[in-house]
Structure 1
Amino acid sequence: MIKHIFFDLDHTIWDFDRNAEETLKELYQLYELEKLGLHSCKDFIDTYTTNNHQLWTEYHVGRITKEQLRSERFHKTFRQLGIKPDKIPMQFEEDYVRISPTKTNLFLGSERVLGYLYEKYTLHIISNGFKETTLTKMDVSGLNPYFRNVIISEDVGVNKPHKAIFEYALNKAEAEKHESIMIGDSLEADIRGAQDFGMKAIYFNPLKKEKPGDVEWQINDLEELLLHF
């Protein structure tokens, strides 16, 4: 019955953490952060990753704005690691946002799976990512040919898990709920958002976290989709 498959982008197809790590290693050297007192690049990346995930969770549900997320994630990280506010590099966020979307690391099997699904289903993206970076990621990673529509929350005016973004996506795709399915890594934004809307969902869980009871279907590897579609 499935005709339309809606994918999340970050952390589902585009390997956000791996691309962020590459970017932060470059910026660690460029800004000579060791001279500021940050003697461990790994600690810097780990602290940033924790803060960024937390802030994105708050952004998904509308507790903070795009501007607050961007202004806070590195400032919070630098402060936690003991850097005084007047020593925090002012252009760090801008350089990160410029470089990170140009990275092209995808989750293992992404292109094989998308190539297979593209022949049988109509594929779409629903992303809470920021518009300019999302479009860059899609372009430089060669993902555009697989997807008919790229729905970005900034264009719609609401984020996943709000029902309105799923309604917008189905209307744009000319799809019905019963013939559509959402695949993503965020329990709150992707899975519960879709399920509350009345749409099937597959939880992409590469870290093999414990599956909550309200999640009916999960995969740990994108290539598992080849067994089901």
Structure 2
Amino acid sequence: MKKYTHLFFDLDHTIWDFDKNAEEALHELYELHNLQALGVASAVAFIETYTRNNHQLWAEYHLGKITKDTLRHLRFNKTFTDLGMQPEAIPAGFEDAYVQLCPTKTNLFPHAHETLSYLQAKYTLHLISNGFQESTKTKIAGTDLAKYFDNIIISEEVGVNKPHPNIFKHALELAGAVKEESLMIGDSLEADIYGALNFGMDAIYFNPLNLTKPDDVPVQIHSLDELTRIL
């Protein structure tokens, strides 16, 4: 690997295990709101349907096709209606309850703290997240991650999402870094990897599910601790 001085990490699905934390929260809310009595046959079906819808809506949000309010309005409404529930039967306040609960979950991907501690001794670390401001700050506080990062850049505060080049430009300016000595690490091909590569930064694709890697993505890892062997 070439010599880097600044590493930029994504948060959700890269360090903070979004799907695992969401699953825990949704299991709790399934019971709390007695969704089985409302016709949602199982927590498993509910979580699988939500996960599919949420991933699709986040992909649209990354690209600026929908707003934060639209994402939050649609992800559960679509999930409940996909499962056969009439709109008028959807529990009031379910989205708000989820937004309050899920960010308090603390599951990280394996080796997150050890890897970040190792890298912090060699590089200056920064975080660039497309997550929403209040949720992102809750996640970071609850998992003691802030101590690793010199800068935490949240797209909602900047006003532009990855993969837009302006958020990478802003991050580099904030860090006092240059493209040639900077590296982006994240799970989203569109937002993190192609966003960085198109901007002129190198990138490492975090691919824990071992999905097919596109040929134009140069480097991938399947576990965070691989970074300690290649950086």
Relative to the length of structure 1, the TM-score reads: 0.99
How far off its partner does 1:39 sit? 1.6
Matching residue of 1:200: 202
Q: Size of the alignment, in residue pairs?
A: 229
1:102-117 alignment, distance < 5 Å: 102-117=104-119
Instruction: Identify the residue that residue 30 of structure 1 maps to in structure 2.
Output: 32
Alignment-derived partner of residue 94 in structure 2 = 92
Q: Which amino acid aligns with 1:135?
A: K
* Partner residue in 2 for 1:168: 170
Residue 18 of structure 1 aligns with an amino acid whose one-letter code is K
After superposition, what is the alpha-carbon deviation per residue over 1:180-213, rounded to whole angstroms, capped at 9, x for unaligned?
0000000000000000000000000000001101
Cα deviation digits, residues 46-86 of structure 1 (max 9, x gap): 00000000000000000000000000000000000000011
Q: CA separation in 2, counterparts of 1:37 and 1:119? A: 53
Q: Distance in 2 between matches of 1:199 and 1:170?
A: 10
3-state SS in 2 of match to 1:2: coil
The aligned counterpart of 1:132 is 134
Instruction: State the distance in 2 between where 1:130 and 1:59 align.
Output: 11
Structure 2 partner of 1:55? 57
* Cα distance in 1 between the residues matched to 2:6 and 2:224: 17
User: What residue is the counterpart of 1:80 in the other structure?
Assistant: 82
The one-character-per-residue Cα deviations of 1:109-162 (angstroms, maximum 9, x if unpaired) are 001100100111110000000000001100011101001100011111110000
Q: Give how far 1:217 is off.
A: 0.4
Residue 174 of structure 1, CA deviation: 0.3
Cα distance between partner residues in 2 of 1:158 and 1:115? 29
Could you tell me which amino acid in structure 1 is paired with residue 204 of structure 2?
I
Measure, in 1, the Cα distance between the counterparts of 2:61 and 2:92: 23
Match of 2:41 in 1: 39
In 2: Cα distance, 1:90 partner to 1:26 partner: 16
Residue 90 of structure 1 and its aligned partner are, at CA, apart by 1.4
Whichever residue aligns with residue 102 of structure 1, its letter is: T
SS in 1 for 2:217: coil
Separation of aligned partners in 1, 2:184 and 2:26? 31
For residues 215 and 58 of structure 1, what CA distance do their matches in structure 2 show?
21
TM (normalized to structure 2)? Answer: 0.99
Query: CA offset at residue 7 of structure 1?
Result: 0.2
Q: Read off the aligned partner of 2:27 and give its amino acid letter.
A: K
Query: Aligned letter for 2:209?
Result: L
1: CA distance, partners of 2:188 / 2:216:
13
Q: Which amino acid aligns with 1:131?
A: Q
1:227 to 216, 226, 229: 229
Match of 2:160 in 1: 158
Amino acid at match of 1:200: D
Name the SS of the counterpart of 1:34 in structure 2.
coil
Q: Secondary structure at the match of 2:140?
A: helix
CA distance in 2, matches of 1:195, 1:90: 42
Task: Report the aligned-residue RMSD.
Answer: 0.5
Q: Which residue of 2 is the match for residue 69 of structure 1?
A: 71
**Aligned counterpart, 2:17:** 15
Query: Please, which runs of 5 or more residues in structure 2 have no aligned partner?
Result: none
Distance 2:50 2:35 in 1: 14
